[in-house]
Amino acid sequence: MIARVRAARNRRKLRAALRRAQPAHPDLRLAEIPLREVVELVRIDLPADEMEPLLELGLLPGCRVCPVQRSLFGDPVLMVDGSLIALRREMASCLCVRRMEPATN
C-alpha cells in the first residue's frame, strides 16, 4: 500500500520534472499540427481558471481536435465535436496533443 502511494508520488514528481524540462523534451503542441490532421488532446498547460473556458467548450483531454484554418498570424480555428473554435496562437501552443495511431484507432 505504502509502496504504491510512494510510486504514485514518484510518478507525479517525474511528470512535474518533465514538464519543467520542456525545452529538452518538447511535447507535440497543437500549434505545430498541420491543417486537417486529427489529433487527440492530451494535456492543457494553463492554470485552472484559464483552462475552464476551453473545457466548457468541450476542449478537454481525450477529445479529438482538428485544426481547419489558420490565419495569417498563425491563430488556428479548430474543429471539436462538430463545433468550430477560434483561439490565439499562444493558447494553441499550450495544448499538448498526441498523433492518432492509425493501427489502434
Partner 1 sequence: MPPGGRPARAVEKDSADRAGIALVALVGPPNAGKSTLFNQLTGLRQKVANYPGVTVEKHFGRARLPDNTEVTLVDLPGVNGFSARTLDEQVTRDVLEGRIEGLPVPDALVLIVDSTRLESQLMLVDPVLALNMPTLLVLNMSDELAQRGGSVDEVELAAQLGVEVVRANARAGVGIEEVQRFLSRVAHGAVLKRAERPERKFAAPSEARRIELPVVDVFVTRRGRMKVIGQQARFRQPLPSRMTERLDSVLLHRWLGPILFLLIGALVFQAIFAWAAPFMDAIEYVIAGSGEWLRARMSDTWFRSLLIDGVWAGVGSVIIFLPQILILFLFLGMLEDSGYMARAAFIADRMMFRVGLQGRAFLPLLSGYACAVPAILAARTIEDERDRLATIFVVPFMTCSARLPVYALLIAAFIPERALLGPFFGTRAATLLGLYALGALAAIGTAFLLKGTLLRGKGAPFLMELPPYRIPTLRSVALRLYDRSRIFLRRVGRIIFAVTVILWALTQFPRIGGQAPPVDDSALAAIGHVIEPAIAPLGFDWRIGVGLVSSLAAREVIIGTLGTIYGIEGADEGSMEMQETLQGALTFGGAIALLVFFAFALQCTSTVAVMRRETGGWKWPALQFSYMLVLAWVGAYIANAVF
Neighbouring C-beta atoms of residue 91, cutoff 10 Å: 19
Work out how close the CB of 104 gets to partner 1 at its nearest, in angstroms, rounded to a whole number: 19
Q: Does 75 bind partner 1 (CB under 8 A)?
A: yes
Of residues 7-66, those binding partner 1 (CB under 8 A): 44, 46, 48-58, 60-63
Q: Report the alpha-carbon distance of residue 29 to residue 74 in Å, rounded.
A: 13
Residues that bind partner 1 (CB under 8 A): 44, 46, 48-58, 60-63, 68-73, 75, 77, 79-88, 91
